[in-house]
Amino acid sequence: MRNLVDSINTNDWQKRLKAIDQIEQFCKAKSTPIKNSHASFINIIDAYCKLLNDNNTKVQTKAQLSFENVLGVADLGALFVSNLIMIVTALTQNLCATNTNVRTQGDRLFDYLEEVVVQESRGNTNALLQPIVGSLSQPQNKIAKPHLVDRLGSKYHQLLHLYLNIILGSYKLWF
C-alpha cells in the first residue's frame, strides 16, 4: 500500500492517473483490511485529498470520479464519517476550482458524502455541521461559501423538521 500512496508523488500526470486507478482498485479489493486499519485509511484519504486538489484538471477529474466510487464501498462508510474534516476540506477546495466541471463534480461529491453520512448515522447529518462551518471560516474558501451556506441551510431545515416532529410527538402524548 505504501507504494500506491507514494506513486501519486510524481511530476508525471499520466502516472498519477494510473495511481488513482490502482488506489481505487485497492480500496475495493481490500476494504475489510482497510476497515480494520485506520492508519491505512488515513493514508488513502491523504492521497485522495492531494489528488482532488491536483493542479492538473485531468487528474482532479479522475480523482473525483474515483473518490465517488470509493465512497460507495460499504465497508469504509464509518471511516469516512470519522474523517469528515479532512474530506470536507478537500471537497471545499473543489468548489473553489476555476474549472466548472470540477466545481460541479465537487458539489456532487458533497451529495454522495452526505448520503454516506446519512446511511452510517441512521438518517442524521449533524456530523457534517462542524466540518462545513470550519471550511466556511477559511478565507481561501470565499468562492465556495455560497455552496457551503446552502448546505448548512438544508441541515438547519432538516434539524428544525426533526425537532418539530419530536415536540409534536411529545405534545400528543400529553393530551
Structure confidence by residue, pLDDT tens digits, 73-106: 999 999 999 999 999 999 999 998 889 999 999 9
| 47: enclosing H helix or E strand | helix 38-52
CA distance 70 to 153: 27
Within 8 A by CB and 6+ apart from 80, the residues are 71, 87, 113, 116, 117, 120
Which CATH number characterizes residue 83's domain?
A: 1.25.10.10
Can you tell me the mean pLDDT for 65-72? 97
**pTM of the model as a whole:** 0.82
The whole-angstrom separation of Cα 90 and Cα 79 is 16
Domain of residue 61: give its range.
2-174
Task: In whole angstroms, give the CA distance from residue 10 to residue 29.
Answer: 24
pLDDT in tens, 101-160: 999 999 999 999 999 998 998 877 778 878 888 888 888 888 888 888 787 777 655 655
Number of domains comprising the chain:
1
